[in-house]
Amino acid sequence: MDISNVVENIDDMLKSAEMIGIGSTRKVYRYENLVFKTFLHPIGYAQSKNEHEIYKTLEMKWLEKHIAPILFINEKYLIQPFYEQLPLNNHCSYDLDLEMDPRMTEDLKAALRVFDQELDGFDFKDGGNYGLNEEGHLVLIDYGMTKTLYEEQWVPLAEAGTLPQIRFEKCQVCNIEKELRMYGENDTDLRCVACGKDY
């Protein structure tokens, strides 16, 4: 698919795209074999710019094979290839054993060491940040939240109730225990995204 054609038609594509994920700062859609990350908050754009820089750095070190590439980024969207998401465990993401998981490749381990030691990496054990390629290997798909961005910008806004934190609760509509987006301690809306709670 010609990325310039995608960029020209992205607003129309989003109308028929499937929403496949929502975090505190970004919303993710799938359109055919592409993923569109849209920004719910300026921190989402900062995350996406970080992903772009991190990918370029890993690419220069020949460690990008199992990192989802950035095909396009502007102030509204980031475009990446689609990778099948890891299945949730009881409607929740979970920490991966990055040393023992058989889907982990040596180059991805090396990339994560650089990510951790040189690039202010954060949250790379969370299975929700990975997909699977056609060979069944892990691919890092969400990697823009650095320790600095998290501590200096995300945490204060989450504690103030401006950005949602994720809590494991029973949805009051579908009655399933799952990850809910909660806006501060005074948020009493215990609905999941599927039952209508968005942002």
Percent of the chain with pLDDT over 90: 65
CB-CB contact of 70 with 55 (8 Å): yes
Report how far residue 2's alpha carbon sits from residue 59's, in angstroms, rounded to the nearest whole number: 22
- Predicted confidence (pLDDT) per residue in 63-122, tens digit: 999 999 999 999 999 999 999 988 877 767 788 998 899 999 999 999 999 999 999 998
What pLDDT, on the 0 to 100 scale, is given for residue 24? 87
pTM for this one? 0.86
Enumerate domains of the chain plus CATH numbers. 3-152 (3.30.200.20), 164-195 (no CATH)
CB-CB contact of 120 with 85 (8 Å): no
State the pLDDT confidence band at 135, using cuts at 50, 70 and 90. very high
φ, ψ for residue 127, nearest 5 deg: -60, -20
